[in-house]
Chain A
Amino acid sequence: MMQTERNMTAPIYRGDSVGVPIQQMQLGMRNIYIQSSSVHSLAAGDEWLVSTTALLQASEAIPILQTAYDSGVTSESGIIPGGEFERGREHKVDVTDDGADVHVVSSEQLRLDIGHIFAAAAEEEFEDGMDNEFTRALLRTVRQHGNIAVNELEHVILNEQVSSECAGEALKWLGDMEHEPTRLYRRWLLEKALVECPSMIARDGANVGLALMDDPHAIPFLKKAIEASTSPLFSEMLLQTLHQLEETRNATASPDDIVC
């Protein structure tokens, strides 16, 4: 259903210049982030996440969410249970007339939760192919909160607020997870980390994550990372992923994709 597109009166802005699938809807003086893999292809049963970008008091939040409702984001079944917006608490609300859920979550609380996950793993020894509580908790959080959680991960990883070992481990398994609503944002994060993270351990995590994701979209980023690499060993590891993705691209290219 195209409820949002049809009913929304407020302007829609892209939340990120590279097309991260967070649509930002400006409502009055406040911003509300609405997450969907594509706002134009919303279908019945799709999950929406609404997150305030600032800490709001209940008295401030309710009118904003009410506006969101009026704009067609939510339905008449209620904005927040009990009419209370509690900072730091996730509110699961039954909204939209197709029965989809809307989660309202404080980004501040999510930031704290993710900080705790990384802090608990600070001394953990990661081993290839082995399960650990760190990745379990991280992937659970991404599944639960979607792109808003990926946004927090972007913040802590790209700003080097976590150890390179943890960043590398997180990036690797973000590439492996199967969760379509966050796929584009996770891919974007891996591509960005691959070329921007100063730590080779973190970049290698992104490299393996992209190999696990197996999406040829990352090819230009791998080429850029290879160009920038001063290490023959790391360049070789990047080349392997590049070759795999080129194979994937060639295997999946339709005759229409071939330009003579």
Chain B
Amino acid sequence: MPQLLRMISCVRWNDDSLDWLPEGDVPGDALRDLQTMESKLSFWLVLPNDANLSRLVAALAVSRKKLDKFDYALLDSEDLPDIGVELEQTPGQCFDQELAQDFHYEVTNVSGSRVSALAKAIRRHNRLERLLPKKVAVFIAEAVKEKWIDPRHLPPEVAEKVQKWLRKWK
């Protein structure tokens, strides 16, 4: 089943030093990464074998002001019916128009307890991932080369750092 990507901050999901945390639960801080808007949560569809992952990361990373680490969680869409939420394809916002049109989804009907259930489902599959800024720079450069992203859309600080990394690693 397809995976759904959402940007998070990995360190908020760490539960190893929390002795009091019940088995299968997540730290309260993790819910900060699942803040709903109109009871909906935004996700991006990842193709099998992460085929479009680098492209997605590049598109989302250039929506930021600075080149930074990219932490994300992957949610198995198979878990959604059991949680009671629904998946709806909607236009997303990023500089890669094709991705924005075809790969953005919203999880709808998200109640408070369902947010918690989504967080537990993410943690259960343990797909919390990090890409360091250097890797993100490589993905952005690739996206520009493939013309997925117009280089004119790159924020100046991001463009400058990408150039720096590429020069260093050429």
Task: Please give the residue numbers on chain A whose beta carbons come within 8 Å of chain B beta carbons, in ascending order.
Answer: 125, 128-131, 168, 172, 176, 200-201, 204, 208, 211-212, 214, 230-234, 236-237, 240-241, 244, 251
List chain A residues, Cβ under 8 A from B128.
233
Known: A128-B7, A211-B134, A240-B132. A233 touches B13 (CB 8 A): yes
Give 9 A-B contacts (CB < 8 Å), ordered by A residue.
A128-B9, A128-B69, A128-B70, A128-B71, A208-B132, A211-B133, A230-B17, A233-B16, A237-B11
User: Of B42-50, B59-67, B105-113, which binds chain A?
Assistant: B59-67
B164 to chain A, nearest CB (A): 9
Interface residue from A208, A211, A233 paired with B14 (Cβ < 8 Å): A233
> B129's closest neighbor in chain A, by CB?
A236
Contact of B132 with A244 in the complex, beta carbons under 8 Å:
yes
How many B residues touch the partner, as a band? 20 to 34
B168 to chain A, nearest CB (A): 7
Beyond known contacts A231-B14, A233-B13, A234-B11: 16 more, CB 8 A cutoff: A128-B68, A128-B69, A128-B71, A129-B64, A129-B68, A130-B65, A176-B66, A204-B10, A204-B11, A211-B69, A211-B132, A233-B14, A233-B16, A234-B16, A237-B11, A244-B132
A4 to chain B, nearest CB (A): 33
For window 134-159 of B, CB contacts with A under 8 Å fall at 134
> B70's closest neighbor in chain A, by CB?
A128
Contact of A129 with B132 in the complex, beta carbons under 8 Å:
no
Contact of B16 with A231 in the complex, beta carbons under 8 Å:
yes
List chain B residues, Cβ under 8 A from A233.
10, 13-14, 16, 128
Query: Which secondary structure characterizes the binding site on chain A?
Result: helix
Contact of A231 with B17 in the complex, beta carbons under 8 Å:
yes
Contact of A129 with B67 in the complex, beta carbons under 8 Å:
yes
Is B169 positioned at the interface, with any CB of A under 8 Å from its CB?
A: yes
List chain A residues, Cβ under 8 A from B32.
125
The distance in angstroms between the C-alpha atoms of A172 and B9, with both chains bound, is 14
List chain A residues, Cβ under 8 A from B71.
128
A216 to chain B, nearest CB (A): 13
The distance in angstroms between the C-alpha atoms of A184 and B32, with both chains bound, is 35
Contact of B134 with A214 in the complex, beta carbons under 8 Å:
yes
Known: A204-B11, A233-B16. A128 touches B64 (CB 8 A): yes
B124 to chain A, nearest CB (A): 14
User: Which residue, of B11, B67, B169, has the highest number of chain A Cβ atoms within 10 A?
Assistant: B11
Is B120 positioned at the interface, with any CB of A under 8 Å from its CB?
A: no
The distance in angstroms between the C-alpha atoms of A179 and B112, with both chains bound, is 46
Contact of B66 with A251 in the complex, beta carbons under 8 Å:
no
> B168's closest neighbor in chain A, by CB?
A214
The distance in angstroms between the C-alpha atoms of A81 and B17, with both chains bound, is 55
Is B6 positioned at the interface, with any CB of A under 8 Å from its CB?
A: no
The distance in angstroms between the C-alpha atoms of A231 and B66, with both chains bound, is 28
List chain A residues, Cβ under 8 A from B66.
129-131, 176
Contact of A208 with B69 in the complex, beta carbons under 8 Å:
yes
User: Which residue, of A130, A131, A212, has the highest number of chain B Cβ atoms within 10 A?
Assistant: A212
